[in-house]
Amino acid sequence: MKAFLILEDGTVFTGESIGSTREVISEIVFNTSMTGYLEVLTDPSYAGQAVVMTYPLIGNYGICHADEESGKPWPSGYIVRELSRLPSNFRSEDTIQNFLKEHDIPGIAGIDTRALTKILREKGTMNGCITTNENYDLDDIIARTKKYTCAGVVKKVTCSEKQILKGDGYKVALLDYGAKRNIARSLNKRGCEVTIYPAFTTAEEIIASNPDGIMLSNGPGDPAECVEIIEEIKKLYNTDIPIFAICLGHQLMALATGAKTHKMKYGHRGANHPVKDLETNKVYISSQNHGYVVDEESLDENVAVKGFVNVNDGTIEGLKYVNKNIFTVQFHPEACAGPKDSDFLFDRFIKMMEDNK
């Protein structure tokens, strides 16, 4: 079946429908990872967005459920050049075609994803519509597409109940704003007992549980929209509990301490982003997925200083909070998909909890 991708600027791509055939309007973003399509699909940070994979051959190794980073795929749409007809890998349990259908994710294949990526790079992230209706009304779709905003997504992706991963080490409270599984797993692997809390848990409840450390997770959407959460984080900031935050968590902590965030032209999404540790001048290749970034100008150096910067565009990739046991990163040390180069940051967090005892 034919499918169409219509961008809010009126560009139309014609391809084949994949997954669900229902129509969807969404923000369109691109990801440059060459492997890890399943991890990308199940990353809750993509909630409210349709993802374009720039690597043209997707689905080659099928679906291995153990690699999922959450319970289900989150993107509202999926855009690829080609889906593999025959997946081949010893762990493959299913095809990506079935997976998308099962989870009712609409998508389009067979389009020039590079041409699309170039549009998004040049004009910036924009909204689009995927439809299988051959008689679509272009003006109507453009009008509806322009109106779309990606809002209230944290509420959608966070867990509904607290969950505990047993461990005999430090007790870590993980606030789930759309956490990828490997964050909890990385801590648990290091012996931590991880308690995963819904995003809207009050600071009081967290503090009352007396954790050794608090982990603020990644998540989708505009961080500035999360006003309630930011209020709670302010309270957490004021405790002495060590805090480590990733991605959305990093942005929320910055907002909670007076800094600002802004939307980037087309964000960082991929597995090849170089970040530099300003303390050691060492560069690590990181996995990234963010469309917002902390404003450098808004930073009060008495509150937080830069810990990591992006080598390519110089944007803030990590903050260290002055006189606080708090450090945050914009990128994903938990990888999945992507390189594990910055995995040591979890050790740094453990060390911080140890020193704080």
Partner 1 sequence: MPRDNSIKKVLVIGSGPIVIGQAAEFDYAGTQACRSLKEEGIEVVLVNSNPATIMTDKDIADMVYIEPLTVKVVEQIILKERPDSVLPTLGGQAALNLAMELEESGFLKENNVRLIGTTSLTIKKAEDRLEFKNTMEKLGEPIAPSIVVENVEDGIGFANKIGYPIVLRPAYTLGGSGGGIAHNEEELVDILSNGLRLSRVGQVLVERCIAGWKEIEYEVMRDSNGNCITVCNMENIDPVGVHTGDSIVVAPSQTLSDKEYQMLRTSALKIIDELNITGGCNVQYALHPTSFEYCVIEVNPRVSRSSALASKATGYPIAKVAAKIALGYTLDEIKNAITGKTYASFEPALDYCVVKIPRLPFDKFIMAKRTLTTQMKATGEVMSICTNFEGALMKAIRSLEQHVDSLFYENYGELKTEEIEEMLHRVDDRRIFVIAEALRRGISYETIHDITKIDMWFIDKIAIITEMEKRLKEEPLTKELLLEAKRIEFPDKIIGKLTGKTEKEIKELRNEYGIRAAFKMVDTCAAEFEATTPYYYSCFNSENEAEETTPKKKVLVLGSGPIRIGQGIEFDYCSVHSTWAFKQEGYETIIVNNNPETVSTDFDIADKLYFEPLTPEDVENIVEFEKPDGAVVQFGGQTAIKLTEALMKMGVKILGTSAEDVDAAEDRELFDEILEECCIPRPQGKTVFTTEEALAAAHELGYPVLVRPSYVLGGQGMQIAISDEEIVEFMKVINRVEQEHPILVDKYLVGTECEVDAVCDGEDILIPGIMEHIERAGIHSGDSISVYPAQNFSEKIIRVLEDYTRKLARSLHVKGLINIQFIVADGEVYVIEVNPRSSRTVPYISKVTGIPIVELATKVIIGNTIKGLGYTPGLQPNAEHVAIKMPVFSFEKLRGADISLGPEMKSTGECLGIGKTFNEALYKAFLGAGVNLPKYKQVIMTVKNADKLEAVEVGRRFEKLGYKIYATRSTARVLNENGVHAIKVNKLDQESPTILDLILEHKIDLVIDTPTNGRDKTRDGFLIRRHAIETGVTCLTSLDTANALLTSLETEDGTDLSLIDIATIDRK
Residues that bind partner 1 (CB under 8 A): 30, 32-36, 38-39, 54-57, 60-61, 64, 67, 81-82, 84-91, 110, 112-115, 117-118, 121, 270-274, 276, 281-283, 285, 311-312, 335-341
CB 179 within 8 A of CB 249: no
Nearer to partner 1, 81 or 324 (CB): 81
Is there a cis peptide before residue 337, judged by omega within 30 degrees of 0? Answer: yes
Active site residue 64: no
Q: How far is the CB of 326 from partner 1 (least distance, A)?
A: 26
- Given a contact cutoff of 8 angstroms between Cβ atoms, the answer to whether 42 and 70 are in contact is yes
Closest CB to partner 1 among residues 306, 324: 306
Instruction: Judge contact between 303 and 258, C-beta under 8 A.
Output: yes
> Residue 147 burial by CB count (10 A; 0-12/13-18/19+): exposed, middle or buried?
exposed
Query: CB neighbours (10 Å) of residue 165?
Result: 16
- Nearest alpha carbon to residue 181 among 291, 295, 42: 42
Q: Which residues of 65-91 are buried (b: 16+ CB within 10 A; e: fewer)?
A: eebbbbeebbbbbbbbbbbbeebeeee
Q: Which of 247, 250, 290, 336 is catalytic?
A: 247
Give residues with Cβ within 8 angstroms of 116, minimum separation 6.
Answer: 5, 13, 28, 30, 52, 79
Nearer to partner 1 by Cβ, of 29 and 206: the residue is 29
**Catalytic annotation on 204?**
no
Return the H-helix or E-strand segment holding 131: strand 126-131
How distant, in Å, are the alpha carbons of 153, 278, 306 from that of 314?
28, 12, 11
Positive or negative, the CA dihedral 260, 121, 107, 60 is: negative
Active site residue 290: no
- The two structure tokens encoding residue 210: 């007396």
Q: Which is nearer to partner 1, 68 or 193 (CB)?
A: 68
Rounded to the nearest whole angstrom, what is the least distance from the CB of residue 220 to partner 1 in the complex? Answer: 21
Q: Please give the Cα distance from 332 to 221 (Å, whole number).
A: 16
| Least distance CB 225 / partner 1 (angstroms) | 26
Cβ proximity to partner 1, 20 vs 286, nearer residue = 286
- Name which of 284 and 327 has its Cβ closer to partner 1: 284
* Identity of the residue, 201 or 330, whose beta carbon is nearer to partner 1 in the bound complex: 330
C-alpha triplet 245, 183, 90: angle, nearest 5°:
150
How many Cβ atoms sit within 10 Å of the Cβ of residue 323?
A: 7
Helix (H, G, I), strand (E, B) or coil at 200: coil
Smallest distance, partner 1 to C-beta of residue 113, A: 7
Q: Which are the catalytic amino acids?
A: 247, 332, 334
